[in-house]
């Protein structure tokens, strides 16, 4: 079975039934053909974006995340020492900690990273699903 790690924007788009989510990705997520995983960093990033007003999360970011987790069955990818170390080895032009931790999680656990973030393309060994 495939193991998919959902990038933050993919998880939010799926939960919100956003038009931004590519149809092929939506079908893959709901198909049951792959195990769905998210990183704790995704929750941290969503709450942060909600607190900063970059995402409208009602009634508040904490409740939105809790309700989203209740409505979307997935597994939690452990944040380990190995993931933390790998996050600093990744050759990225930017220093976004969420991107680094999510990419490192995919690498350490052998997940396919579901993302539309082109900045993550080209990381050696990282398998990306973007359609």
Give tens-digit pLDDT for 88-121.
999 998 889 999 999 999 999 999 999 999 999 9
pLDDT number for residue 113: 98
Could you tell me the pLDDT band of residue 19, with boundaries at 50, 70 and 90?
Answer: very high
The answer on pLDDT for 127 being more than 90 is yes
- Which listed CATH number (3.30.70.20, 3.40.50.1010, 1.10.287.1770, 3.30.360.10) goes with 2-129? 3.40.50.1010
Q: At what angle do helices 61-71 and 8-15 cross, to 10 degrees?
A: 80
The answer on pLDDT for 3 being more than 90 is yes
pLDDT number for residue 93: 87
Domains of the chain, residue spans = 2-129
CA 1 to chain centre: 19
Q: Kindly report the length of the chain.
A: 131
Q: What is the pLDDT of residues 24-78, one digit of tens each?
A: 999 999 999 999 999 999 999 999 999 999 999 999 999 999 999 999 999 999 9
Q: How many Cα atoms within 13 Å fall on the side-chain side of residue 127?
A: 9
**C-beta separation of 73 from 38 below 8 A:** no
pLDDT number for residue 55: 96
Class of residue 90 by CB neighbours under 10 A (exposed 0-12, middle 13-18, buried 19+): middle
């Amino acid at each position: 079975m495939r193991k998919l790690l959902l990038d933050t924007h993919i998880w939010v788009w799926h939960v919100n039934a956003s038009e931004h989510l590519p149809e092929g990705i939506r079908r893959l997520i709901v198909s049951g053909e792959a195990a769905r995983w998210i990183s704790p960093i995704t929750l941290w990033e969503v709450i942060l974006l909600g607190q900063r007003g970059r995402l409208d999360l009602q009634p508040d970011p904490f409740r939105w995340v809790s309700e989203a987790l209740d409505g979307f069955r997935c597994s939690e990818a452990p944040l380990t020492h190995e993931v933390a170390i790998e996050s600093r080895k990744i050759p990225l032009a930017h220093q976004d900690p969420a991107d680094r931790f999510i990419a490192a999680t995919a690498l350490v656990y052998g997940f396919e990273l579901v993302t539309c973030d082109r900045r993550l393309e080209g990381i050696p060994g990282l398998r990306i699903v973007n359609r």
